[in-house]
Amino acid sequence: MIKVEGITKSFGGQPVLRGVDLEVPDGSITVIIGRSGGGKTVFLRHMIGLLRPDTGRILLDGVDLTQLHGRDLDRVRDRYGVVFQGGALFDSLTCAENVAFPLREKTRLRRGEIADRVATSLARVGLADIAGKYPAEVSGGMRKRVAIARALVTEPAIVFFDEPTTGLDPVLVNTIHRLIVELHRRLHFTAVMVSHEIPEIFEIADSVAMLHEGRIVEVGPAAAIQASPNPIVQRFIHGEPEERS
């Protein structure tokens, strides 16, 4: 279980996270929603250890990530898979080489075994035929799917998705969401996703947390969030602009 306790973070005196608390149960799909620029990605980057909070703790099975450095932190990251917003595929490698990269660099698997696992991973995301192409030669949706294949090829226990559907058309958004649900069912990982795909994410999330002005203002099952009486949540879900005080 991931347990976040009172995370705060400021950049140049500007507070972005003002005390975030969240619990992510093992094996669940937890989606963090909120307005653009509301600190969702910053929060995610804390959970994957790319940023350190000013105060607060992030506990993974009882171990405080914010106190870990070097190899200890790397050991935690070995359990992670991360799908970045733009995919973050390596431009100089083909799609298959991108998927093979973590296996090649972090395991002692033989070439044949790596090739088999890469082929399986690409087939799982429906991209067996683009293995030899470079990321620049495939579409945005395909890049995201290759990024998902790369994140899952090491069979991580926890997978973080940073707005995996940004910039895609509604059909592709649903395709990616269905893919994530299907892979989650098959591989049983814990998923933490940042998204503002409303209402689509309510169909895939076990739990939804609304981040607003640096705080989690509501958290619960998708249905409960949709029915929440909280005006901030309702305004966000219905795409209404905020009232100015």
Partner 1 sequence: MADRPLALPLVPLEALGRWAIGVVLALGRFGTFMLLALGTIVTPPFKLRAFADRINYIGFRSLLIILLTGAFTGMVLGLQLYLTLTRFGSEAFLGPAVALSLIRELGPVLAALMVTGRAGSALTAEIGIMRITEQIDALTVMALNPFRYLVAPSILAGLVTFPLMTALFNVVGIFGGYVVGVELFGLSQGTYFGEMQTFVDMRDIMTGFWKSVSFGIIVTWVCTYKGFHVGHGAEGVARATTQAVVLSSVLILVWDYFLGSVLP
The residue behind tokens 């804390």 is 46
Residue 22 or 82 with smaller CB distance to partner 1: 82
Nearer to partner 1, 105 or 129 (CB): 105
Q: Is 80 an interacting residue with respect to partner 1 (CB under 8 A)?
A: yes
Site residues for partner 1, window 136-195 (CB under 8 A)? none
The site map against partner 1 for 42-61 (x = CB under 8 A) is: ---x--xxx-----------
Question: Is residue 219 a contact residue for partner 1 (CB under 8 A)?
Answer: no
Binding partner 1 (rule: CB under 8 A), the pick from 37, 91, 108, 171 is: 91
Q: Closest CB to partner 1 among 93 and 198?
A: 93
3-class secondary structure per residue, the chain:
CEEEEEEEEEECCEEEEEEEEEEECCCCEEEEECCCCCCHHHHHHHHCCCCCCCEEEEEECCEEHHHCCHHHHHHHHCCEEEECCCCCCCCCCCHHHHHHHHHHHHCCCCHHHHHHHHHHHHHHCCCHHHCCCCHHHCCHHHHHHHHHHHHHCCCCCEEEEECCCCCCCHHHHHHHHHHHHHHHHHHCCEEEEECCCCCCHHHHCCEEEEEECCEEEEEECHHHHHCCCCHHHHHHHCCCCCCCC
Tokens of 112: 């044949």
| Interface residue with partner 1, options 54, 61, 64, 74 (CB under 8 A) | 74
Q: Which is nearer to partner 1, 15 or 102 (CB)?
A: 102
One symbol per residue from 99 to 138: x for binding partner 1 (CB under 8 A), - otherwise; what is it? Answer: --xx--xx--------------------------------
Shortest approach of partner 1 to residue 117 CB, angstroms? 15
Rounded Cα–Cα distance for residues 245 and 143 (Å)? 42
63 contacts partner 1 (rule: CB under 8 A): no
Here the tokens at position 47 are 């959970």
Q: Which is nearer to partner 1, 48 or 127 (CB)?
A: 48
From 182, 126, 188, 196, select the one nearest 159 (Cα to Cα).
Answer: 188
Give the x-and-dash track for 7-46 against partner 1 (CB under 8 A). --------------------------------------x-
Q: Which two tokens stand for residue 192?
A: 């933490």
Whose Cβ is closer to partner 1: residue 131's or residue 151's? 151
Per CB under 8 A, the segment of 54-62, 89-97, 200-208, 227-235 that binds partner 1 is 89-97
Binding residues for partner 1, total number by CB under 8 A: 22
Q: Which residues bind partner 1 (CB under 8 A)?
A: 45, 48-50, 73-75, 77-78, 80, 82, 84-86, 88-91, 101-102, 105-106
